[in-house]
Structure 1
Amino acid sequence: MKRMSSLTYHFGVKLRFYPSSEQKKIIKLNYDAQRFVYNSYVGRNRTSYHAKRYLANRQNRAMPFAFSALNSYEVQLAETVVINNELLAKPKNIRDAYSFLRVKEIDSLALANAIQNYQKAWNNYRKIGHGIPTFHKKRSDWSYQTNCQYPKQSEAYLDNGTARFIDAKHVKLPKLGIVRIAGLRKLIKERLFKQVPTRIGTVTIKKTADDQFYLSMQLGSDTAFVKELPKTQSQIGIDLNLDNFLTASNGAMVANPRFYRKTKKKLAHAQRVLSRRQRRAKKEGRNLWLAKNYQKQRLIVAKLHDKIRRQRNNFLQVLSTTLIKNHDLVVAEELRNRNLLKNYALSQSISDVGWRSFLNMLAYKADLYGKEFLTIDPKYTTQRCHACGSIMGQNGYKKLTLKDREWTCPICRMPHIRDWNAAVNILEKGLSKWQNPKIKKAA
């Protein structure tokens, strides 16, 4: 049987499911266990790091070429390093050290995935230079990962692993047993009933802050999950902006829905009530996790946030799918949200619009449906006249500002709508029809 990484096609499925009260306790137990293991690795490795550093500096200060006697504190540090190294040497050691991790309801693969995620976090840190693993705090949303295994099977299907589909309405999960799901996508139903070889990899069980439970599965197969779409011989450039969410090179415009701003007033009122109940509970010395009125209001706030998230996600999914299905090539500007959010006047609007998520959706859907998606450097796309190629801000001409929504080229006298002109430039740049001009100093 092939490994997950060796399979040609990969696909992700997210399903809502409805656990029983007993299953909810098991989910919470596994979440706490994997969080404990992850935090143990973080804490013990930090302790060992600081202890080794202290002992090395002490030895260098005292006698660099000879080993001096250690005092009781330094002996204790050295013993701590040895104990931590032994405990973290093998994944099973930490489970053997703590008896509560050996409870039958706890999934051993959840603990193994916690350790693997810790190691991945360090690998990512070494690649990009930031994001050192930190402690996972106790939260109102829970999640843990397990894996689907095929111990004796010669071929992997959706209904013969340790995590498997019973039918179109039920799934069996390790430790949890059978749970009812909301429903399956048509393409997954066909694979299940027609017995198309499909392997289930990582399985993530998650409870959101508003008490909804979701199941995410990573699927792999040598048979494509979706068919490539027919070519339309159409190309389009898109300019993302705040006035209108999207302006296309063909003149089409998509309005900015502003989901957060529409719910902002209602959300602010709910958060004020939540804050008031939090202060009251703390004043009376009650634990927030046991304060019923606080938890009721927290759930109301969480549901409002989740509604905004789902509205935005649905809007972006529908729009990105429409663009990819109707065009062979989609070109957009590469946006860096980290830099854009430094503008305090626009940061809220930029966060609300979801540009980065939209570009990610276009990228994976283009790959899924056999289309092409490009991102280009946005330099000069707004300031350039697509008719004659002249660039505002050069040769003594005034540079366009955000207030200039319509303008006329001073050279060819071509009138422009700012966003549509930028979309045309983005498409031309993606097709390599113009080069970056040399900047000339204004006279």
Structure 2
Amino acid sequence: MDAVGHYFVSLQMGSEHPFVSKQSVVESKVGIDLNLDNFLTDSNGQVIDNPRYYRTIRGKLAEAQRKLSRRDRRAKKSQRCLSESKNYQKQRSLVAKLQLKVANQRKNFLHHVSTALIKNHDLVVAEELRSKNMLRNHALAMSIADVGWRTLLGMLSYKADFYGRRFLTVNPRNTTQTCSHCGYIMTGKNKLTLTDRKWTCLSCCTFHMRDHNAAKNILAKGLATL
């Protein structure tokens, strides 16, 4: 049972016939760059916007949680058990429903994105995530926690097995700083910062959109490992 009161049953099923049919070969390979400016940019230049579900209800949720805290204090002050306090339980349920709504919206979005990537490409290559280290940046922690990158990679992994596709992750080192056209790496004072969304290679003068270039480098790394 979850915090809202919904019950769930987990079943393990087996069959001599596969539950999902293998997808036909489409001769398409794609690399994906996960970022905060947009949710995802692929090596073909397609951009998927970040829906930022949590941010849309953050104010409403904070207000509901403050109200819950007040009812908690009142119940304790009058020496009432929280499980027997109807006002507290009613507010607790409201907070849980708001949190569940965001979780369901995010999960639905991630299922749509992951299924489209796997069905439309024979090979999907993504960067290895180091979200624990990224979450230490308090200025970005909420945005990173809101996007659900790790959940997306998990979905891509098991759906690739379901549909007979290939999915792999690569070390993201220098994928942002490397020119996908000539291989030149921006270093030292020329190294790109988070604010540099567009740049021109100092070696071959190729103009790049930062995330699109990174996605192409991620795909190239994936192809090199096969």
Is residue 177 of structure 2 the alignment partner of residue 383 of structure 1? yes
Partner Cα distance (2:54, 2:218) in 1: 29
Is residue 138 of structure 2 the alignment partner of residue 320 of structure 1? no
User: In structure 2, what is the equivalent of residue 208 of structure 1?
Assistant: 2
Amino acid at match of 1:308: V
User: In structure 2, what is the equivalent of residue 412 of structure 1?
Assistant: 204
Is residue 147 of structure 2 the alignment partner of residue 356 of structure 1? no
Structure 1 ranges of 4+ moved more than 3 A: none
Partner Cα distance (2:177, 2:13) in 1: 45
Partner Cα distance (2:224, 2:102) in 1: 38
Partner Cα distance (1:219, 1:346) in 2: 41
CA RMSD of aligned residues (A): 1.0
Cα deviation digits, residues 137-170 of structure 1 (max 9, x gap): xxxxxxxxxxxxxxxxxxxxxxxxxxxxxxxxxx
User: In structure 1, what is the equivalent of residue 66 of structure 2?
Assistant: 272
Partner Cα distance (1:245, 1:423) in 2: 13
Higher relative contact order (CA 8 A, sep 6+): 2
Q: Which runs of 5+ in 1 are unaligned?
A: 1-206, 434-443
Shift of 1:222: 2.8
Is residue 225 of structure 2 the alignment partner of residue 430 of structure 1? no
Is residue 36 of structure 2 the alignment partner of residue 242 of structure 1? yes
Partner Cα distance (2:76, 2:15) in 1: 53
SS of the residue corresponding to residue 191 of structure 2 reads: coil
SS of the residue corresponding to residue 224 of structure 2 reads: coil
SS of the residue corresponding to residue 232 of structure 1 reads: coil
Partner Cα distance (1:264, 1:222) in 2: 47
Is residue 56 of structure 2 the alignment partner of residue 262 of structure 1? yes
Amino acid at match of 1:236: V
Amino acid at match of 1:374: L
Q: Which runs of 5+ in 2 are unaligned?
A: none
TM-score normalised according to structure 1 size: 0.50
Superposed, which structure 2 residues align to 1:22-421 within 5 Å?
A: 207-393=1-187, 398-421=190-213
Amino acid at match of 1:401: T
Give the length in aligned residue pairs.
225
For the pair shown, the structure with the greater C-alpha radius of gyration is 1
Shift of 1:397: 5.0
Shift of 1:302: 0.2
Amino acid at match of 2:37: D
SS of the residue corresponding to residue 330 of structure 1 reads: strand
User: In structure 2, what is the equivalent of residue 157 of structure 1?
Assistant: none
Residue identity (%) = 59
Structure number with higher strand proportion:
1
Shift of 1:344: 1.0
SS of the residue corresponding to residue 219 of structure 1 reads: coil
Shift of 1:422: 0.2
Partner Cα distance (2:115, 2:79) in 1: 51
Partner Cα distance (2:167, 2:38) in 1: 21
Amino acid at match of 1:336: R
